[in-house]
A and B are shown apart, each in its own frame.
Chain A
Amino acid sequence: MRMRRTALLVGLGVTLVLLCLVAAGTGQVRVPPAEVLGSILHRVGLDVGPLPSAPHGESALWVVRFPRVVLAVVVGAALGCAGALMQGVFGNPLAEPGVIGVSAGAAVGAASVIVTGAAALGGWTVAAGAFLGGLAATGLVYSMSRAGGRTEVVTLVLTGIAVNAVAGALIGLLMFFGDTDAVRAIAFWQLGSLAQANWAAVGITAPCAAVGVGIAVATARRLDLLALGDRSAGHLGVRVERLRLRMIVVTALLGAAAVAFTGVISFVGLVVPHLVRMVAGPGHRLLLPASALGGAIVVVAGDLAARTLVDYQELPLGVLTAVVGGPCFFWLLRRTRARAGGWG
């Protein structure tokens, strides 16, 4: 078991690193992976390997490509981990961060900033609005579904649907009141893109993601127990309500950090944990880190495709992940049905 765990994590890690080297070198200025690696090694003080030979290669890598690839890794890891976390907390394979309102709240926050033209934090204002919106919506869903010191999972999910619907209406209203530019900006924000990536965005997102993934992995064993149901988990010494609240906060942090600079990237949080579970089993000690790595791979690959599939054009990343993710999820659904009689 330990062997398998290590093999899977190392395999995913190596895949991710190779993919990042390729992704960073691909674009209008082409840099072969060896030169990408050489450039990184030279920066950390090791004079090994070739430097980029293309004109402006070095600056293309460090100013444009690296922040974008690193942000893709961070966002993907946050989404993958948050999805696995939500599914574990709710004991429901259909859960994803969107269920507790993170994405919808973030979209409302971002849209409000775009329409009102607020610029208290300069270029950061949209990201800050999205982050706060995501946290606020999650807080709202959680507090509204609480009764008598407990949250019923079904109540929580249904409250999430209600809050998502209201958020959708608010976005519609904001688009109605906004001018043409604002409508366009909101529409693009909801399609998701890594085009705005820079080192500052990485600097804010990465610590949030690292803290979130770290807490999640540290809680993995207790998350396994939730699969027995709330009562049996409680009988084994888990303070279920406290654990659930803590994990919702962590998910809100991961989800809000992931969408703040990139907009909504759908289906990564839903599909990646399912694929990982097929290979690694449902144990969270492996599922959580593997889903983080898997999510990072999917988003880096998706972003690479988004910016290279069409010449001189960038496809919206969220559209791409949904186009691939939707059928993929359907396939998983059919497969699970055929094998184990579905998810009940």
Chain B
Amino acid sequence: MRRTRTLPQVGPVEARLRVDRLGVHRGDRPILSDVTFSVAAGELLALVGPNGAGKSTLLGAICGDLPPADGDIEFAGRPLARWAPVELGRLRAVLPQRTTMSFPFTVGEVVAMGRAPWAGTRHAAEDDDAVDEALRLTGMRPFTGRVFSALSGGEQARAALARVLAQRTPMLLLDEPTAALDLHHQELVLTLARERTRQGGTVVVVLHDLGLAAAYADRIALLAGGRLVADGPPTEVLTADRLSAVYQHEIEVLPHPRTGVPLVVPVRPPG
């Protein structure tokens, strides 16, 4: 049963993830319709949009959790349905919005679970190294022996991220990785994600904080009402008019005085 399988080789320009005219229903209700975009190796794509826009549904469909009603999803040119689960586990790692553990596993054990897809391959030799690196990068090394479910929300979020990093996959799919984190750790997580893309990885991340998306994403895909409203570099997608319309709240977008990165500020009533 021991097999060695290498990852599919994908050129730097070829799309690693392609979503084509995707539609997803829950029951009879369409949640997403006609969503088309692609992400190349080395790119960080942020999925943004108001609550209920379909961001998590889109990520769920890409993960393979929700079957598409229409359209196609392809990884490295091969349709999602034709990947075996364990192959997908070696191609992409998924960080859910919340990780709950049903038994008192320690942080070290939880992070080591990320190595499961590599069991029986030559990459299993990297297990200890990968776990150690992930714990170091997320600052979770001092927590290695602590029980996961006894940690604070932010510590759990970082431990869950460490598990995903330890998986050492070319693709990362992150659903609101910064929601439970303080400012410093939010920056840390997105710096880690961008570091992955510098090494040729692909990252798709659902974010609520448009400022973070503007600062770290190569491209932003803006969803509203289950449709893709805009897809492009942050400066093109994040315009005051478009955001005000989509979020139904008056929003100002100012360039940062030093870096020029868009700063997104909701207009607040004075005093």
| A231 at the B interface (CB under 8 A) | yes
Contacts of B114 in A (CB 8 A): 236
In the complex, A232 Cα to B99 Cα: how many Å? 8
Contacts of B103 in A (CB 8 A): 88, 91, 93, 227, 277, 282
Chain B residues within 8 Å of chain A by Cβ, number: 33
- CB atoms of B113 and A340 under 8 A apart: no
- CB atoms of B113 and A236 under 8 A apart: yes
CB-based A-B contact count at 8 angstroms? 78
Contacts of B65 in A (CB 8 A): 231, 234
Q: Which residue of A lies closest to B105 (CB)?
A: A282
- Flag A224-261 by CB within 8 Å of B: 1 or 0 each: 11111101101111110000000000000000000000
In the complex, A229 Cα to B114 Cα: how many Å? 13
Chain B CB within 10 Å, residue with most, of A91, A234, A277? A234
| B93 at the A interface (CB under 8 A) | yes
Chain A CB within 10 Å, residue with most, of B93, B100, B102? B102
- CB atoms of B117 and A237 under 8 A apart: yes
Q: Which residue of B lies closest to A238 (CB)?
A: B85
Q: Which residue of B lies closest to A284 (CB)?
A: B103
In the complex, A238 Cα to B114 Cα: how many Å? 12
One of A91, A236, A282, A344 near B116 (C-beta < 8 A) = A236
Chain A residues within 8 Å of chain B by Cβ, number: 26
In the complex, A130 Cα to B103 Cα: how many Å? 33
Contacts of A228 in B (CB 8 A): 99, 101, 110, 113
Interchain nearest-CB distance for A236 vs B (Å): 5
| A146 at the B interface (CB under 8 A) | no
In the complex, A344 Cα to B148 Cα: how many Å? 14
Interchain nearest-CB distance for B96 vs A (Å): 6
In the complex, A224 Cα to B111 Cα: how many Å? 12
In the complex, A344 Cα to B98 Cα: how many Å? 15
| B7 at the A interface (CB under 8 A) | no
Q: Which residue of B lies closest to A339 (CB)?
A: B150
| A92 at the B interface (CB under 8 A) | yes
Contacts of B167 in A (CB 8 A): 236
One of B85, B109, B117 near A239 (C-beta < 8 A) = B85
- Which residues between 75 and 91 of chain B lie within 8 Å of chain A, taking CB atoms? 84-90
One of A277, A283, A344 near B109 (C-beta < 8 A) = A283
- CB atoms of A235 and B89 under 8 A apart: yes
- Which residues of A approach B to under 8 Å, CB–CB? 88, 91-93, 221-222, 224-229, 231-232, 234-239, 277, 281-283, 340, 344
Give me 18 A-to-B residue pairs in the complex whose CB atoms sit less than 8 angstroms apart, sorted by A's number.
A93-B103, A225-B113, A228-B113, A229-B99, A229-B100, A232-B96, A232-B99, A235-B64, A236-B114, A236-B117, A237-B85, A237-B86, A237-B88, A237-B89, A237-B116, A277-B103, A281-B106, A340-B150
